[in-house]
Structure formats: C-alpha cells, structure tokens
Amino acid sequence: MGSPGGMPIINGDVTCQNYGVTDIPANTAVLFDTSNPPSGAGVFGVVVPTTSGAVTPVAGITVERIPAGGQGRLRMLGGGVTTASGSITVGDTLQVDSASGKEGRVKTQTSATQQIGLALNSAADGDPITVWIFIAKNA
C-alpha cells in the first residue's frame, strides 16, 4: 500500500515535510500543505490549521515533533493521540479544530466537514484523546 508521493505506509505512518518556520509539536492534528504537494517520489507537506483557514484537507496526527523545514512521521491510519478541544465522548466522530488557542486539536464534529476519525475514549477540554484515524470527506 502506498501513500502520496510514493512513500510507503508502515503501521499507518508516513514521512512528511514541515515547510513552515515553526516546529509542529508531536500529537498535533495537521492538514495537507496544498502549497507544497509532493513532486516525483518526494514527501508531501503538512501544516497546523490556522484561525483564519479551513480545517481541510485533513492529513493525520503527528507522531513526533517535526522541526521547521524538516521531516517527521505522520499517522494517517490507525490509533493516534492528540488533545481534546471541548468535551468529547467515546465514539464521537471528530474533526480538526482551528479555534484560537486550540489549533491542531480535535473536537466533536458539529457540521458537514471532513472527519479525522472516532474517539476511543472520553476526554475533557485539554485532555489527551485517542483517535481511531480514518479520514472521511464530509461525514
């Protein structure tokens, strides 16, 4: 099974690139960087959602810190841990959040937008949440 840019998916993880000027922390829900698509066998870029931007296209959850201008691992499929934005109940369908101060967290899906997956535990705002990552469009 391959991934964008021809990088192999190993245990749900792929290599991605942070083209930004700040590090992306581990366990952050990120989006595809549409300004930096892969070319040839290159890796694709990822970005943290911003308060002025959209919360799609969802890429996954970072497994490790991705330094500015560097590469790191991204979980695109399977279990990943991130931070809850608001109260989440086990089984909730989740989306990426872009609210101020909560960029890159996940919240209960409230409207027709791209989902990142399902909550595998209940969590309060700011607590760790385990997500079964399976990205779906407008679910």
At 21-30, the pLDDT tens digits run 999 999 999 9
pLDDT of residue 5: 47
Nearest to 136 by CA among 114, 109, 121: 114
Q: What is the average per-residue pLDDT within 99-120?
A: 92
CA distance 123 to 137: 24
% pLDDT > 70, the chain: 91
Helix (H, G, I), strand (E, B) or coil at 25: coil
Helix (H, G, I), strand (E, B) or coil at 4: helix
Q: What is the average per-residue pLDDT within 97-112?
A: 91
Question: How would residue 10 be classed by pLDDT, with cut points 50, 70 and 90?
Answer: low
Of residues 47 and 5, the one with the higher pLDDT is 47
pTM for the complete prediction?
0.89
- Among the listed ranges 37-41, 52-56, 61-65, 98-102, which one has the minimum average pLDDT value? 37-41
Q: Which residues make Cβ contacts (< 8 Å) with residue 52, sequence separation at least 6?
A: none
pLDDT of residue 7: 52
Q: Domain-by-domain residue ranges, the chain?
A: 79-136
Instruction: Give residue for tokens 């308060």.
Output: 51
Question: How would residue 3 be classed by pLDDT, with cut points 50, 70 and 90?
Answer: very low
